[in-house]
Amino acid sequence: MKFMVLYASGHGKEDNLILRVKKNGKLVVMSIHSKLRKVLERLKDVGPVEAEPHTNKFLKDVATMAEIDKHITCHVSRHTFGTRYAELGISIETTAELLGITVKVCQVYYKVTRKKIGLEMKNWG
């Protein structure tokens, strides 16, 4: 996902990351996980990354800082984000908004997985 960090606001557990997503140009506000907070602090002086090859290199560097030992690219990151939000039970509307895409396009991430079935059965009783 190509994006530009515009502002990180809040204090403590209420920190938010505000991004302008290139897919639709809208602003997206997300809560900042503690691991991401540490990475953002180290990257606070980095400007926007526009070209995808540079973004992929940047993502690999960020993954290293966050101690994530996985193959990371824009495509993989976007797919992982969409799939994880689906598995967590986050609404498709929220996920679509955060990814800067339509609900129809977002449906590709909302597949039935064993993890999702397990969560739903647990919630059912």
**Residue 50 falls inside a structural domain:** no
Residue span of the structural domain in which 119 resides: 73-125
14 Cα distance to chain centroid: 17
Number of CB atoms found within 10 A of residue 10's CB:
12
Interval 70-92: pLDDT, tens: 888 888 888 888 998 888 888 99
| Residue 107 within a domain | yes
- Whole-angstrom distance, CA of residue 6 vs CA of residue 12: 19
Neighbouring C-alpha atoms within 13 Å toward the C-beta of 73: 4
More confident residue, 48 or 32: 32
Say if 44 falls within a structural domain: no
Task: Classify residue 104: in a domain, yes or no.
Answer: yes
**Of residues 118 and 91, which shows the higher confidence score?**
91
State the DSSP code for 75: H
**pTM to 2 decimal places:** 0.60
Residue 27 lies in a domain: no
Decide if 106 is inside a domain: yes
Position 3 pLDDT exceeds 80: no
Total residues found in the chain within this entry: 125
Taking only the tens place, the pLDDT of each residue in 101-116 is: 899 999 999 888 788 7
Domains contained in the chain, number: 1
Contact in structure between 65 and 46 (CB atoms under 8 Å): no
| Closest among 81, 46, 45, 59 to 2, alpha carbons compared | 59
pLDDT of residue 106: 92
- Please say if the pLDDT value at position 45 is more than 90: no
Identify the pLDDT of residue 48.
63
Q: Is residue 8 part of a domain?
A: no
